[in-house]
Amino acid sequence: MNKTLVFAVTSAVLLTSSFAHAKTEQAILAGGCFWCMESDFEKLEGVTDVISGFTGGEIKNPTYNGNHRGHYEAVLVTYNTDVLSYQDILNHYWVNIDPFDAKGQFCDKGPSYRSAIFVANEQQRKLAQKSKQAVISEFTKQTVVTPILDAKTFYPIKGKESYHQDYYKNNPIRYNTYRWRCGRDSRLEDIWGDRVTH
């Protein structure tokens, strides 16, 4: 076996090994339209998966076109902790929502479109509360309405409604038109300025 081939095989083994040992954690976040949240988080280096779904309510197996009363549209974000921390996830979250809108997010109004951070443990709760306080301290003349809630069962969108997963990738023209008409990016820039990345 020549040296080049040995190097290539060794590199492949090391690369596979590093991915196999990568530690991942998850965050559940609501920020209005889950298409947009999925898009915003999948662009973040270190995020390995984002799933759209519902959480926060009592109804089991909520559906988009059926009954999802009490639930929020949300995303389940899986991330590599060698690249990102939960604090990084929170930092990215805040600059991708309007934390002052109690009726929903951007053009989408109604209970299911409200923003919320769902915490799975005490460590997440402390970091979420600290990050929220930082936003409150920055915007003293406005009221931050985004709550920090206990995580509940997350129900991924599936079956006949699975087209919602990766909607922004599979329907880029419709998605981009919707996002522009909804005024999401312009409002984010109004609030967060150059901290917003598209």
Q: What is the pLDDT of residue 196?
A: 83
**In the chain, % of residues over pLDDT 90:** 86
Burial readout 71-88 (b: 16 or more C-beta within 10 A, e: otherwise)? bbbbbbbebeeeebebeb
Q: What is the CATH number of the domain that holds 86?
A: 3.30.1060.10
Is 8 domain-assigned? no
Q: Is the confidence at residue 8, as pLDDT, over 70?
A: no
Is 13 domain-assigned? no
Find the Cα–Cα–Cα–Cα dihedral 61, 65, 67, 72, rounded to 10°.
80
- Retrieve residue 106's tokens: 């951007």
Q: Is the confidence at residue 11, as pLDDT, over 80?
A: no
User: What are the phi and psi torsion angles at 189 (to 5°)?
Assistant: -65, -35
Is 84 domain-assigned? yes
Report the 10 Å Cβ neighbour count for 67: 11
E strand residue ranges, the chain: 24-31, 47-55, 72-80, 104-105, 108-109, 115-119, 148-150, 155-156
Range of the domain at 127: 22-192
Which residue from 193, 182, 181 is spatially nearest to 94, judged by alpha carbons?
Answer: 193
Q: What is the pLDDT of residue 172?
A: 96
One-letter amino acid at 149 equals: L
Compute the average pLDDT of residues 4-17. Answer: 38
Report how many domains make up the chain. 1
Q: 150-189: per-residue pLDDT in tens?
A: 999 999 999 999 999 999 999 999 999 999 999 999 999 9
Is 148 domain-assigned? yes
Q: What is the pLDDT of residue 19?
A: 45
One-letter amino acid at 5 equals: L
Annotated catalytic residue: which of 33, 36, 107, 182? 33
Q: What is the pLDDT of residue 12?
A: 37
Q: 62-78: per-residue pLDDT in tens?
A: 999 989 999 999 999 99
Is 5 domain-assigned? no
pLDDT tier at 21, thresholds 50, 70, 90: low
DSSP reduced 3-state for 158: coil
Q: What is the pLDDT of residue 197?
A: 76
Q: What is the pLDDT of residue 84?
A: 97
Q: 79-137: per-residue pLDDT in tens?
A: 999 999 999 999 999 999 999 999 999 999 999 999 999 999 999 999 999 999 999 99
- Told to judge if 107 belongs to the known catalytic residues of this protein, a careful annotator would answer no
Is 115 domain-assigned? yes
- 72 forms beta bridges with 55
Q: What is the pLDDT of residue 198?
A: 63
Distance CA 139, CA 176 (A): 29
Is 7 domain-assigned? no
Is 165 domain-assigned? yes
Q: What is the pLDDT of residue 97?
A: 98
Which residue from 47, 35, 28 is spatially nearest to 164, judged by alpha carbons?
Answer: 35
- Retrieve residue 186's tokens: 């312009």
DSSP reduced 3-state for 88: helix
